[in-house]
Amino acid sequence: MSQTGITPVTIVGAGPVGLMLANLLCVYDIPVVLIERNLDTVKAPRAVSIDDESLRSLQVAGLADRTRGICAMDYGSVYLGPDRRPFASVSPSTAEYGHPRRSAFAQPELEALLADSLRRYPHLTARFGHEVLALEQDDNGVVLDVAGPDGKRYQHRSRYVAACDGGRSPIRHMLDISMKGYTYEEKWLIIDLKGTRDNFRQTRVYCDPRRPGINLPGPNGTRRFEFMLLQGETDEEVTAAEFVGKLLRDHGPDDGIEIVRKQVYTFHARMVTEWKKGSVFLLGDAAHLTPPFAGQGLNSGLRDASNLAWKLAAVVRGQITPSVLDSYGQERAEHAWQLIEMAIKLGRIMMPDTMTKARLIQAGFRALRLAPPVNDYITQMRYKPKPRFSQGFIVPDGGKLRTTQVGRMLAQPNIETENRSTRRLDTILGTGFALIAFSQDPATAFEGLPELPFEDRLDLQRVCITPRYYNVFPAAPNAATVRDMNGDFERNCPGARDRWLLVRPDRYVMASIPRHSPQDTVQALSRLLQA
């Protein structure tokens, strides 16, 4: 058995999560080997919904504009009762993180785009048709036993391994890591159509105990239907042409459209008990299985990649000690499970098991219209758990979880640069750490800030943001200076004038340094970064 040289990071699994992680690591200039047992990326439709956080991660990877080109951007949902009359709608209009809160895409197109983008990087080695058969760990990292397309086995050594190998995850089983949660008793039939005669671009949710279902528009004039199987129905029965045709006739004008895929699924609400073992990390479906009712399964996986990529890069480059890697599971577990719980709650609304429950749900939502703030909470999709951490690689400032900026994803407003061009904030922040000052006087924006002993090591980018009604001159010394064009930064970051925000590469606020007494926070940051 031959043996290859050591690789800083090896990714097992070239689905969307593995490909996303590879792109981010390549942006951070880390050599990567990508191992995938299949000969190519997927061709069949799978995930269909992408959110603002995922598009922001793709923006960091330099792929947001290309991704938007394959998406149907910015759509919502209409909830219909058994009488097919709408009783609630979700149509978010805000873009706090710089992108629409919900858009449609086709997974094969996204995977092809992500795979194609890797061709830009000479420090990326892709091995399709290779399968990991076993692994061992020692003080120097991980040794993978791999079989190539010709069946010949070789050993591949890597400092770190990211397992993005799906819900059945062979690597998770090799590590003997269990999952907690449960599996839904109900099965669902998924039907993907090549086209559609229906030009309605919102998702229809049929909250009907006689046959719960979902009707989702896709990009390029495609459409997906999802229907719950009723008691006693078999997989063979519901996938028969006559049965599928009747379902389509009952739910729109698309009977007779070419069917790309029809498949019966069982859904899960499960999460691993350990996200990391030694030098091996679990991501995506290998770490968590999310019911589809909120469209967050793939998005949670992309969050995993965004969270882990910069940490691995910082450790490999020697910027931060390996202890930062322990925060991966701390940070991701809490948010991933919150989204699983949200999907479970939405499933209860979508799948009332009696007509009485269906009518009560409708009555409840219609009553919300009498309370505009509560109704706005629903229509603007504010029930979705905010991306924020209560623990992890952060320096808490003592504020309440709902109000503190620490551990929260930073808002991404449109900004105006010194040459009057308009951009999103992240294009100025770059791909590393950033220190943000919000000040009407750029020349004094960083006055009073103590020396940061970690600034050079982190290659910290200083950015001064001026309020909406102030120009960007005089420029802040040794910093980029931009203007908050629409006041979105100030609106989403209350109190920003009184502090400096240290932002991580994944756009989460690591620390809030108070201007009136910055020394304690700076010292806490120094300890954390040197631990």
Label residue 118 exposed, middle or buried (CB < 10 Å: 0-12, 13-18, 19+): middle
Exposed, middle or buried by CB within 10 Å (0-12, 13-18, 19+), for 188? buried
Phi, psi of 366, deg, nearest 5: -65, -35
Residue intervals of the chain classified under CATH 3.40.30.10 are 414-530
CA distance 348 to 326: 35
Measured distance CA(348)–CA(361) in Å, rounded: 10
Residue 500 has which token pair?
Answer: 């400096």
What is the distance between the alpha carbons of residues 440 and 182, in angstroms, rounded to a whole number? 53
Q: Does pLDDT of 449 surpass 70?
A: yes
Q: What does the CA dihedral 162, 165, 170, 176 come to, rounded to 10 degrees? A: 50
Q: 250 in helix, strand or coil?
A: helix
Answer for the pair 13, 36: CB distance below 8 angstroms, yes or no. yes
Enumerate the H helices of 168-287 as residue ranges. 170-174, 235-238, 241-250
Tokens of 274: 């350990």
**Bridge partners of 155?**
3, 145
| Predicted confidence (pLDDT) at residue 404 exceeds the cutoff of 70 | yes
> Per-residue pLDDT for 280 more than 80?
yes
Per-residue tokens: 175: 């590590």
Whether 92 shows a pLDDT value over 80: the answer reads: yes
The H or E element containing residue 428 is helix 426-429
pLDDT score of 353 more than 70 = yes
Neighbours of 123 (CB within 10 A): 12
Whether the CB-CB separation of 79 and 28 falls below 8 Å is answered with no
Instruction: Over range 224-247, report the average pLDDT.
Output: 97
Are the beta carbons of 410 and 122 closer than 8 angstroms?
A: no
Note the pTM of the prediction, 2 decimals.
0.95
- Beta-sheet pairing, 124-128 with 32-36: parallel
pLDDT for 4: 57
Calpha distance 142→267 (Å, rounded): 32
How far apart (Å, rounded) are the C-alpha atoms in residues 282 and 289? 12
Residue 508, Cβ density class (10 Å: 0-12 exposed, 13-18 middle, ≥19 buried): buried
Banded model confidence at residue 493, pLDDT cuts 50, 70, 90: very high
Q: Of 376-390, 447-461, 488-502, where does mean pLDDT reach its minimum?
A: 376-390
Please state the CATH superfamily assignment of the domain spanning residues 414-530 in this structure: Glutaredoxin (3.40.30.10)
Where do the DSSP E strands lie in 37-178?
A: 49-51, 77-80, 86-90, 102-104, 124-128, 131-138, 141-147, 153-163
Helix boundaries (H) for 198-240: 235-238
Residues with Cβ < 8 Å from 467, sequence gap 6 or more?
Answer: 438, 440, 483, 484, 487, 490
Query: Residue 217's closest CA among 45, 16, 48, 64?
Result: 48
Q: Are 336 and 269 in contact (CB under 8 A)?
A: no
Mean pLDDT of 321-329: 97
Q: Is the pLDDT of residue 159 over 80?
A: yes
Cα distance between residue 398 and residue 275, in whole Å: 27
Query: Cβ atoms within 10 A of the Cβ of 256, count?
Result: 11
- pLDDT, residue 531, reads 53
Cα distance between residue 161 and residue 509, in whole Å? 27
Which of 402, 194, 435, 172 minimizes the C-alpha distance to 287?
A: 172
| H or E stretch covering 458 | helix 455-458
Confidence check: pLDDT of 1 > 70: no
Q: Residue 231: what pLDDT?
A: 93
Q: What are phi and psi of 316, to 5 degrees?
A: -60, -35
Q: Which of 414, 397, 410 is nearest to 492 (CA)?
A: 410
Mean predicted confidence (pLDDT) in 123-141: 97
Fold category of 2-70+102-178+270-342 in CATH: FAD/NAD(P)-binding domain (3.50.50)
- Reported as a single tens digit per residue, the pLDDT across 167-209 is 999 999 999 999 999 999 889 999 999 999 999 999 999 999 9
Residue 381 pLDDT > 90: no
Average pLDDT, the chain: 94
Question: Which residue from 129, 55, 38, 45 is spatially nearest to 98, judged by alpha carbons?
Answer: 55
**Residues 38, 387: Cα–Cα separation, whole Å:** 33
CB of 508 within 8 A of CB of 408?
A: yes
Q: Where in the chain is the domain with CATH 3.50.50.60?
A: 2-70+102-178+270-342
